Amino acid sequence: MTALLTITLLTIICATSLYVTSQNANATTQTASWQQALAGAEGAVDQAMGTLNSQTWTGWYTAAKPLPTGKPNSVNPIPASGPPASGSYNYYFPSTLATSSPAGTADESGKTVSSWVTVDTAGLPIKSGYQEYRIRATGVVGAPGPARVSNQKLDNQLRKISLRMDRFTGSAVSTPQAARRIEVIATPVTNSQFPRAITMQNWLVMNGTGSIIDSFDSGSNLYSNNGQYIFSKHKSNGDVGLVLSSKGNNVSNLKDNAVYGSLQYSGPAVKKTSGVKGTVSSPFNTKLNPVSDPTATFTNYSSNIDNATVVASGTTATSPTRLKITSNNGTFSLQHNFTITGPTVPPGGTAQDTYLEIWVPGDYNVTGNALVTQGAKVHVTWYVDGSLSVAGNGYSNLSGLAANMSFLAVGSGSITLSGNGNFIGTFYGPLRDVSFTGNGALVGAVIGDNLTIGSNASIHYDEALGTGSSVTFSNYAYASWFEDNSDPARSMAY
């Protein structure tokens, strides 16, 4: 009896040990396959990004939509001669890779890593004159071992191993496999300083209920009224980019205001984004260089600025007229009028574009009934060291073009746009706290540290800022990156 009891106990111990060992081995092989499938998908994404940047589509094929749920059909493929147009997609099969293990050890994963990748427009907008693209890449690796889940419930929920059916297509599989899919939005990168309506180092809060962020194109009568913004011709490229969507106790909140464009952010989820008409994606990153005092030689302007007229005679952007405000302790505090004009045009002559840079070492403050008037052919850049406060109806940019007028805010501090008028121009102050109040609008673009939009203030992005003659294409970069963890075969969609 003692012997039988001992044998029974040993048998139970051995069976339990065998069960635990088998389950652990099963989990280990599935984990290894799951990780290698991700590497296969990431490698395919890299192939697609390299092709978009080189525009060399050798080895790629094209087909009409819709995108397949599984591997594209390779029967009678049509070679791709360029990027995909709307209604079609390009696809590619990277070389199948063999897995290996250190000498003397068992292979704990599948024997090969196969992958495929598709590129299509997916209804994405054209940014800075270049199309955005969606990249979908799938990596597949066999999962050696029996077609059963491990005894680790959380592992099974995390790693959606296809034991008997492909989780993307719902079709049966002959042997277990791990399949992972990545979806990437590739966006064009240009040398434009203002590739979107709003770019903030940190948060954006919209406190009103009637604010609008959208876009138009001053260079096209299809999307503007003789170069001016009109809602009936607006576009949906009023994009917002937040490098970090929070700072301290402040978290970005759009209050469901209308954003005719896409939202990209990093950090905590932006609140109340139902008004965003485009995509909402994360992460987002861009480099915003701070503004420094100009190093070129400036002529001191010591006269009273009230009711003064300044002539901009610089003929190119690289050789502008340069003035440094030295009156009133270097502040630009206007009470009446300040006019910026070009040289006098002789009879029968044609006014030429001229350029001016004005350096304000102190504060810039133009509110109330004061007015700065900028000539239609004059391009003006302001450097402001102190606080910057301007009423929308306190600056008249007669060209009607945001590209012709820019405020560069040096260092930290504040930028305030107030009133009910439209301000046509741009603000660039990556270290500044920006505040838009009143019911007016910024027609142009803004870059800052954080932005508060109060009342019903709006921003209308002029797409000409990103597509001017001096704007050149650099490369495609990742606008968003996420893994598709849906399981359509089991009615699990995300």
Per-residue pLDDT tens digits for 324-348: 999 999 999 999 999 999 998 888 8
Q: What pLDDT was estimated at residue 163?
A: 83
- Cα→Cα distances 370→305, 333, 336, Å: 11, 9, 4
Residues 237 and 146 in one domain: no
Q: What's the pLDDT tens digit per position in 429-474?
A: 999 999 999 899 999 999 999 999 988 999 999 999 988 767 788 8
405 in a structural domain: yes
* Highest mean pLDDT pick, 123-137, 295-309, 336-350, 460-474: 295-309
Q: What pLDDT was estimated at residue 102?
A: 53
Q: What pLDDT was estimated at residue 20?
A: 65
Residues 129 and 83 in one domain: yes
Please state which of the ranges 101-115, 177-191, 225-239 shows the lowest mean pLDDT: 101-115
Q: What pLDDT was estimated at residue 19?
A: 66
Q: What pLDDT was estimated at residue 197?
A: 96
Q: What is the mean predicted confidence (pLDDT) over 141-168?
A: 77
How many domains does the chain divide into?
A: 2
Residues 220 and 334 in one domain: yes
**Are 359 and 383 spatial neighbours (Cβ–Cβ below 8 Å)?**
yes
pLDDT at 101 over 60: no
d(CA 113, CA 356): 60
CA-derived radius of gyration, the chain? 30
Q: What is the mean predicted confidence (pLDDT) over 384-411?
A: 95
| CA nearest neighbour of 233 among 262, 273, 260 | 260
pLDDT at 494 over 70: no
151 in a structural domain: yes
Residues 326 and 414 in one domain: yes
Q: What pLDDT was estimated at residue 143?
A: 83
15 in a structural domain: no
Q: What pLDDT was estimated at residue 287?
A: 87
Residues 368 and 467 in one domain: yes
**pTM surpassing 0.85?**
no
Please state which of the ranges 100-104, 120-124, 264-268 shows the lowest mean pLDDT: 100-104
Which SS3 state, helix, strand or coil, does residue 181 take? strand
6 in a structural domain: no
Residues 239 and 108 in one domain: no
Q: What pLDDT was estimated at residue 23?
A: 62
**Are 180 and 222 spatial neighbours (Cβ–Cβ below 8 Å)?**
no
Q: What pLDDT was estimated at residue 166?
A: 87
d(CA 197, CA 445): 5
Q: What's the pLDDT tens digit per position in 74-94?
A: 888 999 999 999 999 999 999
Domain enclosing residue 173, as ranges: 32-189+477-490
**What sign does the dihedral 27-33-39-45 (CA atoms) show?**
negative
Residues 254 and 362 in one domain: yes
CA 390 to centroid of chain Cα atoms: 28
Q: What pLDDT was estimated at residue 473?
A: 84
pLDDT at 28 over 80: no
Verify cis geometry, omega within 30 degrees of 0, for the bond prior to 94.
no
294 in a structural domain: yes
Q: What's the pLDDT tens digit per position in 212-251?
A: 999 999 999 999 999 999 999 999 999 999 999 999 889 9
Residues 329 and 390 in one domain: yes
Residues 102 and 230 in one domain: no
Average pLDDT over the chain, rounded to an integer: 89
14 in a structural domain: no
Pairing state between β 126-127 and 97-98: unpaired
**Are 400 and 375 spatial neighbours (Cβ–Cβ below 8 Å)?**
no
pLDDT at 261 over 60: yes
Residues 185 and 200 in one domain: no
Residues 401 and 482 in one domain: no
pLDDT at 367 over 60: yes
**What pLDDT band is residue 209 in, cutting at 50, 70 and 90?**
confident
What is the phi/psi pair of residue 435, to 5°?
-135, 125
Q: What pLDDT was estimated at residue 194?
A: 93
44 in a structural domain: yes
117 in a structural domain: yes
